[in-house]
Structure 1
Amino acid sequence: MDRQLSAPAAQRSGIDLTAYFDRVGYAGPTEPTLATLTGLVAAHVRGIPFENLDPLTGVPVIDLGAPALAAKLVAQRRGGYCYEHNNLMRYVLTDLGFDVVPLGGRVVWMSPTGLDGPPHAETHLALVVRIPGVETPYFVDVGFGGQTLTSPIRLVVDEVQETPHEPFRLRAGGGGVAGNGYVLESLIGKDWRPLYTFDRRPKPLIDMQVGSWYVSTYPESIFVVGLSAAAVTDDARWNLRGRNLTVHRRDGGTERVRFDDAAQVCEALTDRFGIDVSGLDDFEARVAQVLDS
């Protein structure tokens, strides 16, 4: 398919596919195939960072429509969190001819109780993607921050699946609807660590808007009280939490940097994560607040 021919399809969602491809550095095929899906996921996670700067500065993220997401993540060269990343990917894939279903998830990653504690709120969004002519659907998540999937994986349980970074697998369970619950796990060192649970019930837009409003306004939300950013390169994962930057390399090495002040953090967001923070009023002052709290 000629990439220029994608423009009329993009108008169905409001996404300019050519602008999106340029934003993520994608120059591959656009037919709805596994090769296209794999290439787009890899390009997206390399090209658009994870960040929570709007909730941090008091701007709730509720408009998850295609025009708003394209304006922010593509035109303004910002990043976002799961509801933004995965909805943008959903619009792009649908315009290209994939069948995409959004699913809700309950995050247990970094939770002290993990899968054994009380249920967590359903505040994550992931995607199931069907490729025309392919029986087994694929699981896609370009919005889980520092541990996000860097390639699609088959929606099958108990199968270790390699990605450009860590191996991942899906297990049955997680408290979903009977027969439809899953746990996504990644292999960190020698241990399988659960990231979140989900089930196969499609998540309507209104539920996504409620979930996004909650995580971007709830006073105790980690997106409201702390700074987070993450980026993926071919050989590493970059994670910023407050003033602490951690770089986990594919070869097993880890680099840690502790910034002295808000100015250094803002510089890192711009230079290391490629985030344009110029449109955020009093942003450095807000960063200073959360660093000192």
Structure 2
Amino acid sequence: MDLQAYFDRIGYHGGTEPTHDTLGALVAAHVRRIPFENLDPLMGVPVTDLSAGALTAKLVARSRGGYCYEHNNLMREVLCALGFGAERLAARVVWMTPQGVDGPPSPQTHQALAVTIPGADQRYLVDVGFGGQTPPAPIPMISERVQQTSHEPFRLRRLGDDADEWVVETLIGERWRPLYILGMQPRPLIDMQVGSWYVSTHPESNFVVGLSAALVMDDARWNLRGRHLTVHAGGGTERVRFDDAAQVCAALTDRFGIDLAGLGDVEAKVAAVLDT
């Protein structure tokens, strides 16, 4: 793991001791500079190599982004190299589903991290790869403990009496909304590789049939879905509708800082999915 290259990529110039302050600063810098994006699955390239070398080559050296399995495994490599403890957790996404946590079980297609600081028992949820609703700060893994962030508050809550599944929620307006149901048992890398293969190849996966990109800036959330760009800032929302694929590709490059070189005819592929 080339830590200095990673620090340069995210514009990080702070301390490297494994402390709570370092953890929070790294999370904020990461989500500010490395975008969430699904261009590889969209272009027909399965995401199966989650090794430190592959992730560094793509997200750090090539000025690309990725989705949860890539972001959070890269973050895990960084944190472990700095002396933090970091375990992989799997989750079932319920964000924006009609029934939320009360609906039928969705597959475990999301990855997050449980992070510990040396000398402390407290665990923190770290998730730098949940797209437009990515938490911009570590969240204490204590039921009902509200964590204010630079954007919305977040919390974890036990799902009924089951100690092995907790729901991660964010406060939007006056309503707590669920993001995903988090399994609390550590998972090996092979489980993440299977999940990543599934979401990057299944013909009905959102990552295969649609385009998404997101960044969490200090004062705004930028979310791109197809031709629609939404910017949430200062309690207000700006919506931009791009006319064509060329404008979308320009936004991917200029707003999100994604290098499209070597991916094939991205503009043609984007044109085919603009309204998904």
TM superposition score normalised by structure 1: 0.92
Aligned pairs for 1:245-264 (under 5 A) are: 245-249=229-233, 251-264=234-247
Whole-angstrom distance in 1 between the partners of 2:275 and 2:84: 46
Distance in 2 (alpha carbons) for counterparts of 1:50 and 1:169: 22
SS at match of 1:170: strand
Q: CA deviation at 1:180?
A: 2.2
The answer as to 2:224 corresponding to 1:240 is yes
Say whether 1:50 aligns with 2:36. Answer: yes
What's 2:21 paired with? Answer: 35
- Which of 186, 189, 193 is the matching residue for 1:205? 189
Alignment of 1:146 with 2:132, yes or no, is: yes
SS of structure 1 residue aligned to 2:178: strand
Amino acid at match of 1:87: N
Q: How does 1:1-293 map to 2 (within 5 A)?
A: 15-173=1-159, 178-249=162-233, 251-291=234-274
CA distance in 2, matches of 1:292, 1:145: 19
Secondary structure of 2:46 counterpart: coil
TM-score using structure 2 length: 0.98
The share of aligned pairs that are identical, in percent, is 70
> Partners in 2 of 1:77 and 1:174 — Cα distance?
42
- Give deviations 1:50-76, integer Å, cap 9, x for gaps: 000000000000000000000000000
| TM-superposed deviation, 1:205 | 0.9
- Root-mean-square deviation (CA, aligned residues, Å) is 1.1
- CA offset at residue 96 of structure 1? 0.4
Q: CA deviation at 1:174?
A: 7.0
CA contact (8 A) 1:58 1:217 kept: yes
Q: In the alignment, is the contact (CA less than 8 A) between 2:226 and 2:275 conserved in 1? A: no
> How many residues are aligned here?
276
The letter for the 2-side match of 1:257 is V
Residue 237 of structure 1 aligns to a residue in which SS? strand
Equivalent pair of 2:227/2:275 in contact (CA under 8 Å): no
Distance 1:174 1:83, change over 3 A: farther
Q: How far is the alpha carbon of 1:29 from its aligned partner? A: 0.5
For 1:180, what is the secondary structure of its paired residue?
Answer: strand
Deviations 1:212-233, CA, capped at 9 Å, x for gaps: 0000000000000000000111
SS at structure 2 position matched to 1:179: strand
Structure 1 residue runs of 4+, over 2 Å off?
A: none
Q: Is the 8 A contact 1:174 1:198 kept in 2?
A: no
Unmatched runs of 5 consecutive residues or more in structure 1 = 1-14
Q: What's the secondary structure of 2:112's corresponding residue? A: strand
Q: Measure, in 2, the Cα distance between the counterparts of 1:291 and 1:93.
A: 37
The answer to whether the 8 Å contact 1:136/1:155 transfers is yes
Q: Is the 8 A contact 1:66 1:91 kept in 2?
A: yes
Deviation at 1:88, TM superposition (A): 0.1
1:291 and 1:184 map into 2 onto residues whose CA distance is 30
Q: Which runs of 5+ in 2 are unaligned?
A: none
Q: Secondary structure at the match of 1:278?
A: coil
Once structures 1 and 2 are overlaid, which stretch shifts more, 194-203 or 235-244?
194-203
CA contact (8 A) 2:202 2:208 kept: yes
1:91-145 C-alpha deviation (Å, 9 max, x unpaired): 0000000111000000000111211110000000000001011121111000000
Contact 1:62/1:209 (<8 A) preserved: yes
Contact 1:219 1:225 in 2 (8 A): yes
Give 1:5's aligned residue: none
